[in-house]
Amino acid sequence: MAKLAIAGGEPVRKKPFDPWPVYTEAERSALDDVLTNRNWGGQPFPGKHGDAFAKTFAEFHTAKYGQCVNTGTVAIQAALKAVGIQPGDEVLVPAYTWEGTVGPVLLVNAVPVFVDVDPETYCMDAKLIEQAITPKTRAILPVHLGMRFADLDAIMSIAQKHNLKVVEDCAHVHGGMWRGKGAGSIGDLGAFSFQSSKLITCGEGGCVITGNLEYFERVQSYINTGRASVTDKFKHRMIGFNYRLGEFQAAVLGPQLERLPAQAKIRQANFDYFESRLRNTRGLGFLRPEPRITRTAPYSYVLKYFAGQMKDIPRAAFVAALQLEGIPCDGLFYEPVYRSSLFPVNPAEYPALSWGREKPLDLRNMYRCPASECAAYHEAVWFPHYLFLGSKEDIDSIADAIFKTLENIEELRSLDHPAIRSQQLSRADRES
């Protein structure tokens, strides 16, 4: 008689986890305020809710200025424009990330240069940055991925040495702190996303933060159809676009930010308990602890699964089995962007890939980043952050499901199941 739910047994958990996003009367009354005020757009600029939120959000991350925008992708694009990235410039990006980190680089007709990640943190490997720098390099775009930060100490010192700008992709790290300073406030600018799965969400949205007034003014103009910024001290004029965030979306961000510190504490306590249960388990590993992260605000709990220690049962089967035990999780959550089906880059559309070269850069085939490929295709297991907002019993159910799966791993050998087949595909290629 099979024990694993995927093979016909009883699942560890039948009750769903509490749903995400969380909302209360605070969101409802903020939405009602927008409705009745009839000021629904991001114009006049910035709207009351968007303005108040951006200021508090920047302050919360120890930055001076904040500007809401309509997505995280646009936040990165606006930040790249703010630091003056020009067509043909090179921007260093980690290979293992969401495609939305890299798309904005191409959109400003710059060239993304992929750098592998540190196998112990899954964030851009600072040791590999200098070898990727060329005379055309202008910026580094590290991502604080999953539950860790890229090594900002090393990155900032390399940036200073080579006169490069740093834009932090903070889509995963709302409220996170590195040595007491907020995510996004250490580089030249930080770009956040408020898309549905994020730690603070309004469905779709984003924010750029910075300590530099000139950058802030450029961001404001760029995302507000080129109009003068509110302060307009530097008098920059540029072609801009309507990338404003509407007030309905901005309104729900305030209450979510207020809730974030208490949620961060709950998640941290649950992470600690989770790790105490899983420590020294054959087949599993943790990312390297990072004492310089002084406030954890992770997008996901990221665990390592070692198939080699588990009779070569692949991660896809392990993850699918956990899912059937009632635990939402994912293996092939991200992949090296250069291999992703969401990155069908055509040099004809991005002319900088051809400039000054006999043949255009073939971004899909010119890189091999072993740590990114190992994380993406073999090792990483992502558990969404909202699982860790619950009780100790919730955490026990995750750990119990993991132990049950590992103990009965042999039941997965040669098993054919739609959940396993789905796990073998990248997210974009799955049915649901």
Ligand X SMILES: Cc1ncc(COP(=O)(O)O)c(C=O)c1O
Single residue of 67, 71, 256, 397 touching ligand X by CB under 6 A = 71
Single residue of 27, 89, 116, 169 touching ligand X by CB under 6 A = 169
Q: Which two tokens stand for residue 386?
A: 């909202």
171 binds ligand X (CB under 6 A): yes
143 binds ligand X (CB under 6 A): yes
* Exposure class string for 346-355: b at 16+ Cβ within 10 A, else e: eeeebebbee
240 binds ligand X (CB under 6 A): no
As a three-state string, the secondary structure of 230-272 is CCCCCCCCCCCCECCCCHHHHHHHHHHHHHHHHHHHHHHHHHH
What 3-state class would DSSP assign to 417?
Answer: coil
146 binds ligand X (CB under 6 A): no
| Residue 172 exposure: Cα atoms within 13 Å on the Cβ side | 24
Q: Of the ranges 105-113, 164-172, 218-226, 403-411, which one interacts with ligand X (CB under 6 A)?
A: 164-172
Distance CA 52, CA 23 (A): 19
**Interface characters, 90-129, with ligand X (x: CB under 6 A):** -------xx-xx----------------------------
Whether residue 275 contacts residue 398, with contact meaning beta carbons closer than 8 Å, is answered with: no
256 binds ligand X (CB under 6 A): no
70 binds ligand X (CB under 6 A): no
Residue nearest to ligand X (CB): 72
CB atoms within 10 A of CB 138: 20
Whether residue 193 contacts residue 166, with contact meaning beta carbons closer than 8 Å, is answered with: no
Q: Of the ranges 66-74, 232-240, 272-280, 289-297, which one interacts with ligand X (CB under 6 A)?
A: 66-74
Q: Which two tokens stand for residue 152?
A: 């900002």
Which residue, 191 or 321, is less far from ligand X as judged by CB?
191
**Interface characters, 178-217, with ligand X (x: CB under 6 A):** ---------------x-x----------x-----------
Q: Which two tokens stand for residue 281?
A: 């388990």
Identity of residue 345: V
Q: Of the ranges 3-11, 126-134, 168-176, 308-316, which one interacts with ligand X (CB under 6 A)?
A: 168-176
Site of interaction with ligand X (CB under 6 A): 71-73, 97-98, 100-101, 143, 169, 171-172, 193, 195, 206
